[in-house]
Structure 1
């Protein structure tokens, strides 16, 4: 058996305080996503504070929703291990749950502050996807969200760096780096969304494009994973949600245009 040690999950220890790479990486994703959004705010003449304040509310609420969502579908386990419910540094947050929390927060925030929700959602779309792309590396550090078994030769043929190949060696077996597949898919999506800003789509459609893009990638990548949350013995929750989101996004785009609910465009004030 090969003697390969996993990367240390701990970023920093100060006395009783332990900071994990998982949290650090998620934090980096939030900061870079916020930076991208505020740069677009400058271009659009929107105060940066609008997104800074939104993030201060949305991030903690999104993390709570992401954890609650995950725990709810793993209740058989957590009902007998209640003390582990708040231990998110060990992993176990669901992006779909986080998105629900973030969207609900943004809807309320936009009404209170007097901004169009769709305008803020369009600006935030590439930032959300960037945060997700970076956040997946937290799964990498925790050796989770991986796919089924593969050989080392398979991973080497993908021309992956040695540190990724070694980290995919878990309990004597190499696994598909599905975290990496989703991260790369999301990064390409960020580029696509930024380019689509120039197309001046109807307001809200950039956000729906983000939902469709991410859901397509998530559907196929989820089918490779070994740790999926299951709706039934054969239905993966993330795949079902992805299909529903794709269909709803397409329907919303069509209906909003048909009903004239999306007359304003992305670049309109």
Structure 2
């Protein structure tokens, strides 16, 4: 049976933190990465980021829509009723960055839902905003991914389970909206990674990895990533795998896992 080889993108928000952000691009390239992702580009100009990508022959494969005011507990605006104007301005800003940086995929953040809020209203607001973005982004061949966040990382986020992600993708019903399958979050909430992936693989556009429970390199903890990477390859997953983990120490020193547990095909 034919196989598709795993391809990994360095997450520059979490990796190479021993360096200033703009120096992490060259560090990732020197470490052998051909692609990068990060949470937020908006504190830097499009020109600065494009320069780093081009100078280091890197492809940007994913970033997030704006998170809002983190100091006030916001973690995305796209699900907040009454904030549609702000959310849609952010959707356009994300598109501007994606076009300039040639990024094919954007993760649209939902929001934290206050315990006493109307959950159904938050969900419908999110659906409406993602549909708005999907129709706008499709004109530029840009995909949207939705990511479930486990409560241990972000309590009261709109959705925490991969099954909720899949249901939202179904409800939104747009051809360029997919699941962002973060193995760390999936294991913490749902478990049974093999069956989850096999069931949802046709709607998965981006994968992220980290060890569980400590969110370090994928060569420790309760997940057998040698098995998981082999699973991805056997199922011909061809999109990127983002390394969204906190290195135990120096980032470069921790990259031995790429040689030790990634399948050779």
Instruction: Specify the TM-score bucket, using the shorter chain as the normaliser.
Output: under 0.3
- Alignment TM-score, normalising by the size of structure 2: 0.25
Q: Which has the larger radius of gyration?
A: 1
Q: TM-score, normalised by structure 1?
A: 0.24
